[in-house]
Amino acid sequence: MRLKRLLVALLTAALTALGTVVAGAALASPARAADLNCVYLVKRTAAVKAEPAKKAKTTDRVRRGDRTLGSCRKYGKEKNWHKVVGTRKLKKGYTRQRNLKRLGTTKQFGL
């Protein structure tokens, strides 16, 4: 039992150190995942909103250091929002561009 707990703790620590890649969309059909064609690094913890607006309802969060899938397209009035997958509840929503750093496309990462 102790060995099992130790292995789980080590695995959890290793995954945390590498960062989280949200792969839920990669497991879906290519048609459903078509709008999630970029990989982002989260620069600062931020809310994932239901709409591309400041006052929209928060549906999920992304944490600093996580990697997530999102749309390369920009949304909102000022075109400064991206559609992403939250890293806590895996819900789709919008977060500001300033919170994200684009790492590349899903094709480059083989997703």
In a domain, 4, yes or no: no
- Look up residue 102 and give its two tokens: 């684009």
Number of domains in the chain: 1
98, part of any domain: yes
- Is 13 inside a domain boundary? no
Torsions phi, psi for 33 (to 5 deg): -90, 5
Residue percentage of the chain with pLDDT more than 90: 58
Pairing of strands 46-49, 58-62: antiparallel
Task: Considering only residues 13 and 29, tell me which one the structure prediction assigns the higher pLDDT.
Answer: 13
12 found inside a domain: no
Q: Which of 25-29, 54-58, 64-68, 83-87 has the lowest mean pLDDT?
A: 25-29
CA distances from 6 to 10, 17, 64 (A): 6, 16, 26
Quickly count: other Cβ atoms within 10 Å of residue 84's Cβ. Answer: 26
Q: Does some domain include residue 54?
A: yes
User: Residue 26 domain-assigned?
Assistant: yes
d(CA 32, CA 50): 18
Q: pTM, whole model, 2 decimals? A: 0.69
Mean pLDDT of 16-29: 49
Does some domain include residue 60? yes
pLDDT computed for residue 40 by the predictor: 95
* Residues 66-101: tens digit of each pLDDT: 999 999 999 999 999 999 999 999 999 999 999 999
Q: Which two structure tokens, joined as six digits, stand for 52?
A: 């591309």
pLDDT at residue number 36: 87
Identify whether 10 is part of a domain: no
Which domain, by its residues, includes 55? 20-109
Whole-number Å distance between alpha carbons of 38 and 25: 11
Q: For the domain that residue 27 is a member of, what is the CATH number?
A: 2.30.30.40
Q: What token pair was written down for 87?
A: 């890293």
